[in-house]
Amino acid sequence: MTLTPISPATAAGVDAVLPVPGVDRRRPPYLRMEWSDAETGAVGYLVIDTLVHGMATGGTRMRAGCTIDEVADLARGMSNKTAAFDLPVGGAKGGIDFDPKDPRAHAVLTRFCEAMRPFLDRHWVTAEDLGVSQETIDSVFAELGMRQSYHAAIERSADPQATAARVLGGLNAAAPGGRLGDVIGGYGVAQACLAAARVRGQSAAETTVAVQGVGTMGGGASFYLHEAGMRVVALADASGTLYHPAGLDVPTLLAARDRYGEIDRAVVAPDVMRLPREAVLGIDCDIVVPAAVSYAITASNAARIQAPIVVEAANAPTTADAELDLTARGIAVVPDFIANAGAVAWAWWLLLGHVGTDYRDSFDRLRSRMDAKVSALLTDWTPAHGPVRWTADVSSTTRSAEPLVVP
């Protein structure tokens, strides 16, 4: 296990810094740690990018090929999300280089969390991410004697048992499309898409969208876009892209997903085109939503994108050089730390008691904030300003000095 602590200034809550033209303003993370699993050889990583009030938040992912640099990028993104939504917490991320479909994956995740216990007890609030469902990580926490994956924040409350009950009630509350805790992130992405369309003067019914990935985030976004009246013309999973210019039967396709977010092709209508997986990025549509893996849009495939808007639902789905290429072509990329921040923002609203089990309160709060943020970013944006990410820079955000109090 390797620990690399950084300066006290960062621990005090210095927020993540975004790249600006010609200047590398990135500072090192507060902590980078590597863990090795003696039983399988799996390697896990924890990166705490920033601590605010002694806390950081960010999910834990599992995928073959996961690297420390990937986790560090994602942790920096979490710092940006928490700053953009004015949350009283810093950013972190966990990652494990292991195949989540391997039958040993649950045991690997359990041993990783056990090794991270000192941080999970006091400083790091984690949750689902690529390859790790919320149900899975909560079951691991239960096995380790912790109430839930928000354990570190829950234990700060005056009544941890009552706080845990409130959190679990919110996570498991019924909402259109599924459990509130599962769908809230996708709902936020959908609201980002709807706001972007409105800025362009398009109604939902006039707007077409292609979604790469039908897991928790992509599936939720697709469901709510379909519910809002947008035509979801393409959905892509690991097996390929499903395309129909008149729009897909999104609810039927989502209902046929397996636990890994892949659609059973037996339910696909015969008039739906079956294209290669990578074809989704080049679909002729108004909005492309990368909601699968990091670094999906690169300099080598960015030229395929025809849509005038990209809304980042995955974490870090667009490389920096690809984003510059897209911007030069007049394509607006709504950055992940805005578009997909709904899940983390909602989790902390739930922890702090701002929302509860009524999904309508959560939806109203997230819709108003996402609409305001995306509208403000895109209304006067032009390619001459550089990537939308630069306009959304949160590096100067100052956090409240008030102590973090979880009711």
Neighbouring-strand partners of residue 60: 94
Query: What number of residues does the chain have?
Result: 407
Alpha helices (H) along 85-215: 105-115, 117-122, 134-143, 151-154, 160-171, 180-199
Element spanning 363, H or E: helix 359-378
81 catalytic? Reply is: no
d(CA 322, CA 312): 13
Q: Report which of 241, 237, 246, 245 is spatially closest to residue 218, judged by C-alpha positions.
A: 237
Catalytic pick among 81, 93, 101, 373: 93
Cβ-Cβ contacts under 8 Å for 327 (sequence gap 6 or more): 333, 383, 386, 387, 388
Residue written as tokens 């985030």? 217
d(CA 226, CA 44): 37
Cβ-Cβ contacts under 8 Å for 159 (sequence gap 6 or more): none
Element spanning 241, H or E: strand 240-243
Element spanning 350, H or E: helix 342-351
On the 0-12 / 13-18 / 19+ scale of CB atoms within 10 A, 247 is middle
Helix (H, G, I), strand (E, B) or coil at 218: helix
d(CA 29, CA 7): 9
d(CA 365, CA 40): 44
Cα torsion 383, 384, 387, 390: sign: negative
Residue written as tokens 């510059």? 324
Q: Report which of 13, 5, 6 is spatially closest to residue 404, judged by C-alpha positions.
A: 13
Catalytic residue annotation: 93
